[in-house]
Amino acid sequence: MKNIAVPILVVLILIVMALYLVAFQVRETESAFITRFGKPVREITRPGLYFKWPTPIERVHTFDSRMRVLEAEIGETTTKGAVPMIVNTYIVWRIAEPLQFLNAVGTVQKAENKLISQINDTQNRVIGRHSFGEFVNSDPNKIRFEEIQAEMLVDFKAPVRDAYGIEVKTLGIKQLKISKDVSKDVFERMRAERKRRTEATIAQGNAEATKVRTDADAKKAELLATAEARAKAIQGQGDAEAAQYYQMLEEDPEFAIFLRNLEALKKTLSERSTLLIPADTEPFKYLKDIPSLEPKQ
Amino acid sequence: MAEENIQEETRQSQPVKPQDTASEGLDAAGKSLSEALRISFIILKVIMIVLVIAFLASGFRTVGPDEMALVLRFGKIQGVTEQRVLGPGPHWVLPYPIDEVVKIPVEQKINLPIDSFWYYQTRDDILGETAKRRTRIPENLDPVRDGYCLTRSESSSQAPITSGRSGPKVRVKVTYNKGDVEVSYRRFSRSNSQGEKMQGQEGSDYNIVHSKWQLTYQINDIELFFKNVYVQDVKPGQIYSEVMQQSITPLLKSVFEDAVVDAMVYYTVDEAIKSEDRIPQHVHRLVQRKLDEIGSGIRVESVYLTDVTWPRQVNEAFLASIRASQESQKAISEARTYAENTLNEAAGPIAQQLCASLHDDGITEEQKELLWSQVAGEAQKIIANSRAYRTKVVEAAKANADYFQRMLPEYRKRPRLVVQKLYQDAIEHVLENADEKFIIQPTEGTKGRELRILLNRDPLLKQKSASGGR
């Protein structure tokens, strides 16, 4: 019994040591390949536990296969129609085929240098095929900005994969600018546009205000005219009603007119009047003579 | 694991027993040696047990409350679907080198301010601005230093009408109660001549706008994130979440800037300055789409347009434009006030309704009457006056008629006396009220006499006209 335990232990230790020599892990974030005496034999892109011959025979090379971002330097290019434009392009890439990658570029640093010059090429080629109006346009339906970026990605993706074993996940333009001199012109135009707009605003405002005022005045006039008309109608009714009473006067028109005249006399001479009266009118004739009155039998 | 345990135990206990049985036949020196050996074996045994326990205990990991974790067995993510992710709390995994636990903060919402679309400011500029010192504004923008977005200019169909110099002057006659008034203004025309000369290309007008943004993001799929997104190795003394943020910032920044540039070309400078919600929403959509496309496992929580402005170089023009629109708004609101007051004075609160009823054939007479019964103001005065007139006229006629009816029987009985009486009363009434009376002897014969009277100017009348004229 006890003699068995020792060998078991020894075997176990040996197994563990052997495992350390021949086994290796590839993590989820990595890809690897194995060289036998310097000659590549296997490429591993799936994670897990793998075996190989001990080190002098086979070697493992692992690469980080996660996405990296790379931005090219901001640079000037020209669109179709020779309009200068300044763009800054970035890509998101990862090592997809470690073997190809190692053969073509070797290190991330070198890969980035190559990629940058490739980006510039693609940028010039694709942007040169499109006019400025497809980047920015007053008509949104004519803007092809996203399509242009997609076109750049297509132009870029396949050659890079073939040449360097690099997968380009995405590509985009992160700055879209114009040269110094052009910016000056743009400001000039923006000012002119504002000025035009300012004038238009003022003119519109004034026109609107004038319209509101004249409208109100017109409405007022209309209302008052209608009110006058209604007033006339009411007055007419009054006159008509009054006329009904005149029938009652028909019994003795002369007397009625006499009464009416007296009334008018009282009314018109009621205030601030100066009268010149001949001395032979009714009450004043007594100022001259005494009347000869005799009682009637 | 249990097997391994037992093996460790047996390995320690086996060698001790033979020592015990062999010791009996030895001398004192040998005895003490075997004693020492025995003790050292016991110590070794204890150490071994402790080591095994420590080895097993090293499999314990605690996942923090704001974290999620993945278990890598030989580098491969362990488990299926939901079991792949460990939630907060203590967990036990196989010790190194078999299992590895990767903890990633997921609850944490991380803010990332993006200033790369703002104009270049030196430290002095920033300080100078806070100190209200005027900084010199360069007349152009340096594409390397200054950040900005290009925005589209308004398309001609959306452009507001602008007063063109070529527009003929139009006279419009407006007729209202105070006679004809001529209102003249320039006919507005849409002219875009300024813009067309710029690039010689139709519709490629654009504007420049500066903006500042804030992106808030969160890691929502830790598996995708761990597999795909490059995070630097954490060196001793560094905190994982900080290293992670540093590592993913360039990626997020690039993707975000791309989205902003893409989105902004679809908006005009005015839409941008109004900070309309749809612009950040548009950017949000684009960023999320791209992050999903590359399988980053990052979720954009929110996108804010924190600051936006027109270029400083055209500040004057923009301010003038804003002032103009404020002023024209003011003019319009003043005009509205005037209109309201005018109508109110004319017919009171229901003026508008009345006006509408004038031209509406669908309104019945009763409804019209109802409206007019509520009228106020000047129109009401006119109507009230007419009513008063009507009453007066009718009442006067009635009074006359009554009077006549009452006097008529008397008159028929004694015509001469009644006439005389009435006449005398009237004369008396008139004379009583007269201010001055002159009784003149009538002339006889053909030759007239001249009579001159100096009439006193009526002091009462004078007073009245003086006070009434004011």
Interval B415-434: pLDDT, tens:
888 888 888 888 888 888 77
Chain A contacts in chain B segment 23-52 (CB below 8 A)? none
Q: Is B334 on the interface with A (CB under 8 A)?
A: yes
Predicted pLDDT at B469: 37
Q: Is the pLDDT of residue B406 over 80?
A: yes
The predicted structure's pLDDT at residue B433: 79
Question: How many Å apart are CA B359 and CA A282, to the nearest integer?
Answer: 64
- pLDDT for B186: 36
Residue B198: pLDDT above 80? no
Report the chain B residue with the minimal C-alpha distance to residue A85.
Answer: B143
Of B176-190, B234-248, B354-368, B379-393, where does mean pLDDT reach its minimum?
Answer: B176-190
- Residue B153, classed as helix, strand or coil, is coil
Contact A92, A69 (CB under 8 A): yes
- Residue B88 corresponds to which amino acid? P
- How large is the average pLDDT for residues B115-133? 71
Alpha carbon distance B343, A227 (integer Å): 13
Residue B400 touches chain A, beta carbons under 8 Å: yes
Q: Which residues of A133-160 are buried (b: 16+ CB within 10 A; e: fewer)?
A: bbbbbbbeebbbbeebbebbbebbbeeb
Cβ distance of B426 and A170 shorter than 8 Å: no
- Let me know: does B434 contact B426? Beta carbons within 8 Å: no
Test A136 with B150 for CB contact under 8 angstroms.
Answer: yes
Using pLDDT thresholds of 50, 70 and 90, give the confidence band for residue B8: very low
Averaged pLDDT, B449-470: 56
Q: How many CA atoms lie less than 13 Å away from B46 in the CB half-sphere?
A: 5
User: Is the CB of B162 less than 8 angstroms away from the CB of A197?
Assistant: yes
Separation CA B37–CA B441 (nearest Å): 178
Mutate one of B223, B382, B436, B441 to test the A interface: name it (highest A CB count within 10 A).
Answer: B382
User: What is the distance between the alpha carbons of residues B55 and B46, in angstroms, rounded to a whole number?
Assistant: 14
A58-64 sheet: strands from edge to edge: A39-44, A30-36, A58-64
Across the range B311-331, mean pLDDT stands at 90
Contact A212 B332 (CB under 8 A): yes
Residue B382 and residue A94: Cα distance in Å, rounded? 90
Cα dist from B51 to B37, B56, B197, whole Å: 21, 9, 84
Contact A235 B97 (CB under 8 A): no
B453 in A contact zone (CB under 8 Å): yes
The answer, yes or no, to whether residue B123 has pLDDT greater than 60, is yes
Query: Residue B205's closest CA among A165, A36, A190?
Result: A190
Mean pLDDT lowest among A243-247, B133-137, B204-208, B313-317 = B133-137
pLDDT bracket for residue B191 (50, 70, 90): very low
> What's the distance, CA B203 to chain centroid?
30
d(CA B214, CA B323): 30
CB pairs under 8 A between A and B: 461
Least confident of A187-201, B20-34, B282-296: B20-34
B50-57 average pLDDT score: 86
Residue range B187-191: mean pLDDT, rounded? 37
Cα–Cα–Cα angle for A276, A282, A284, rounded to 5 degrees: 55
- Residues of chain B with Cβ-Cβ distance to A197 below 8 Å are 160, 162, 321
B258, B266, B393 ranked by CB distance to A242: nearest: B393
Asked if B219 and B105 touch (Cβ cutoff 8 Å), the reply is yes
Q: Rounded to whole angstroms, how far apart are CA atoms B312 and B161?
A: 26
What are the chain B neighbours of A137 within 8 Å (beta carbons)? 152, 203-204, 265
Q: What is the pTM of this model?
A: 0.70
Placement of tokens 């209608």 in the chain: A226
Q: Please list the rounded mean pLDDT of every run of 10 residues in chain A (297 residues).
A: 72 87 87 86 86 85 89 87 89 89 87 91 90 85 88 91 91 90 88 90 92 91 89 91 84 85 82 75 74 73
pLDDT for B298 equals 92
Percent of chain B at pLDDT > 90 equals 17
Site from A3, A45, A135, A138 to mutate, B interface, most B CB atoms within 10 angstroms: A138
* Confidence at residue B404, expressed as pLDDT on a 0 to 100 scale: 87
Q: Which residues of B touch A218 (CB under 8 A)?
A: 174-177
* pLDDT at position B199 over 60: no
Q: What Cα–Cα distance (Å) separates residue B170 from each residue in A52, A195, A206, A210, B185?
A: 93, 22, 15, 15, 6
Which of B118-127, B363-372, B458-467 has the lowest average pLDDT?
Answer: B458-467
Nearest by Cα to A195 from B201, B311, B314, B140: B314
A78 touches chain B (CB under 8 A): no
Show residues of chain B in contact with A133, CB under 8 Å: 201-204
Q: Distance (Å, rounded) from C-alpha B383 to C-alpha B347?
A: 11
Residues of B in contact with A270 (CB under 8 A): 429-430, 433
Nearest by CB to A143, which of B176, B265, B382? B265
Contacts of B249 (CB under 8 A, 6+ apart): B112
Q: Does A77 lie at the interface with B, CB-CB under 8 angstroms?
A: no
| Alpha-helix residue ranges (DSSP H) falling in B302-448 | 315-347, 351-358, 365-373, 377-413, 415-433
Instruction: Return the DSSP state at B93.
Output: -
Residue of higher predicted confidence among A138 and B340: B340
CA closest to A46 among chain B residues: B76
| Predicted local distance difference test score (pLDDT) of residue B158 | 44
**In whole angstroms, what separates CA B364 from the centre of its chain?**
45
**Interval B146-168: pLDDT, tens:** 889 888 887 654 444 333 333 33
In this structure, are residues B15 and B38 in contact, taking their beta carbons and an 8 Å threshold?
A: no
Asked if A169 and B250 come within 8 Å (Cβ–Cβ), the reply is: no
What is the percent of chain B with per-residue pLDDT over 70, rounded to a whole number? Answer: 76
Q: Which of A149, A238, A287 sits opposite B393 (nearest CB)?
A: A238
The residues in B 366-395 lying below 8 A from A, measured between CB atoms, are 372, 375, 378-380, 382-383, 385-387, 389-394
Q: Which has the higher per-residue pLDDT, B222 or B131?
A: B222
Q: How far apart are CA A294 and CA B157, in angstroms?
A: 111
pLDDT confidence of residue B14: 47
B258 pLDDT above the threshold of 70:
yes
Cα separation values, B427 from A261, A282, B39, B442, Å = 12, 9, 162, 19
CA B151, distance to chain mean position in Å, is 21
